[in-house]
Structure 1
Amino acid sequence: MIDRKWLPLNALRAFDAVGRRLSFTAGAQSLNVTQSALSRHVSSLEELIGKRLLDRRPQGIVLTEAGAKLLPVVTKSFDRIEKVLNELKSDGVERPRVLKVHMPPTFLQRFGLPMLHEFRGEYPNVAVDVSSTYGNGMPARELDVAIIYDRPKISDAINDLLWMQRSTPVCSPALAERFRDRPLEELLNASELLHIRVEGQPADYHWAQFCRHNDVECVTARGITFDTLALAVQYAERGHGVVLADIDMFADEIAAGRLGVPTSLEYKDGFGYFLSLHPEDLDDPLIALFRHWVITRFAGIDRRPSAGRDEEPAGEPGSRPRGWTAV
Structure 2
Amino acid sequence: MPAPGRRALPPLLAVRAFEAAARRLSFSLAAQELNVTQSAISRQVRLLEDFLGHPLFLRLTRSVALTPEGAALFRAAEQSLDILEAATRRCRGDDGRTTLKLSITQSLAVNYLLPRLPAFAALRPDIEVRVLTSTAPVDFDRDDVDAAIRLGPLPGRRYDPKRPYIPHELARSWRGIAAFPLWDEVLTPVLARSLLEGQPPLQSPADLGRFTLLSVAPRPTAWSDWFRSQGARLPRGTTTSDFGHFFMTLDAARAGRGVALVPTLFLEGLRADASLAFPFPSSTPSAGEYYLLCREDMAKRDPVAAFLGWVQDDAQRRD
> Deviation of residue 246 (structure 1)?
1.9
Q: SS of the counterpart of 1:109? A: helix
| CA distance in structure 2 between the partners assigned to 1:254 and 1:136 by the alignment | 31
How far the C-alpha of 1:185 sits from its partner, in A, is 2.5
2:201 to 180, 187, 210: 180
**CA-based RMSD:** 4.1
Separation in 2 of the partners of 1:237 and 1:165?
21
Distance 1:147 1:297 in 2: 14
Q: Is the 8 A contact 1:166 1:269 kept in 2?
A: yes
The 3 A distance-change label for structure 1 pair 185 and 132 is same
Q: Distance in 1 between matches of 2:284 and 2:102?
A: 30
| In structure 2, C-alpha distance between the alignment counterparts of 1:295 and 1:259, rounded to whole Å | 29
Q: Which residue of 2 aligns with 1:212?
A: 228
2: CA distance, partners of 1:220 / 1:293: 45
- Could you tell me whether the CA contact under 8 Å between 1:174 and 1:260 is conserved in 2? no
CA radius of gyration, larger in: 2
Q: 1:150 aligns with which of 136, 143, 152?
A: 152
Residue matched to 1:286: 303
Match of 1:260 among 259, 272, 277: 277
Match of 2:294 among 277, 286, 300: 277
> Are the counterparts in 1 of residues 205 and 232 from structure 2 also a CA contact under 8 Å?
no
CA distance in 1, matches of 2:271, 2:89: 54
In structure 1, runs of 5+ residues without a counterpart are 18-29, 32-37, 42-47, 53-78, 303-327
In structure 2, what is the Cα distance between the partners aligned to 1:264 and 1:87? Answer: 50
Give, as a single letter, the amino acid of the residue that structure 1 aligns with 2:224.
Answer: A
Q: Is the 8 A contact 1:161 1:272 kept in 2?
A: yes
| CA distance, structure 2, for counterparts of residue 191 and residue 144 of structure 1 | 43
Shift of 1:276: 2.2
Deviation of the 1:232 alpha carbon: 0.4
Q: Unaligned regions of 5+ residues in structure 2, if any?
A: 1-17, 41-58, 64-77, 157-173
Scaled by the length of structure 1, what TM-score is found? 0.60
CA deviation string 1:38-73 (max 9, x = no partner) = 8999xxxxxx97669xxxxxxxxxxxxxxxxxxxxx
- Aligned mate of 1:196, from 206, 210, 216: 216
Counterpart-to-counterpart distance in 2, 1:298 and 1:224: 31
Q: In the alignment, what sits opposite 1:131?
A: 132
Question: For the residues of structure 2 that align with 1:219 and 1:265, how far apart are their CA atoms?
Answer: 22
**Cα displacement (A) at 1:158:** 2.6
Task: Write the distance in 1 (CA, Å) between the matches of 2:193 and 2:121.
Answer: 37
CA distance in 1 between counterparts of 2:317 and 2:143 reads 31
Q: How many residues align?
A: 245
Please say if residues 171 and 259 of structure 1, whose CA atoms lie closer than 8 Å, have aligned partners that are also in contact.
Answer: yes
Deviation per residue, 1:118-167 (Å, 9 max, x gap) = 22223223232221123566675122222222223355533222221112
Which of 188, 191, 197 aligns to 1:171? It is 191
CA contact (8 A) 2:213 2:241 kept: yes
SS of the equivalent of 1:252 reads coil
2:180 is aligned to 160
Contact in 1 for aligned 2:179/2:293 (Cα 8 Å): yes
Are the counterparts in 2 of residues 137 and 150 from structure 1 also a CA contact under 8 Å? no
Match of 1:63 in 2: none
> What TM-score results when the alignment is normalised by the length of structure 2?
0.61
Q: Does the aligned pair in 2 maintain the 1:204–1:222 contact within 8 Å? A: no
In structure 2, relative to structure 1, the CA distance for the partners of 1:151 and 1:118 (3 Å cut) is same
SS at match of 2:266: coil
**1:235 deviation in Å?**
0.1
Residue of structure 2 in register with 1:100 after alignment: 101
Per-residue CA deviation, residues 273-325 of structure 1 (Å, 9 max, x unaligned), is 222222111331332222212222221335xxxxxxxxxxxxxxxxxxxxxxx
Give the secondary structure class of the aligned counterpart of 2:122. helix
Stretch of structure 1 that moved more, 238-247 or 138-147: 138-147
Output one character per residue of 1:207-243: Cα deviation in whole Å (capped at 9) or x when no partner: 1212233222424886222222111011012111112
How far apart are the structure 2 equivalents of 1:268 and 1:159?
19
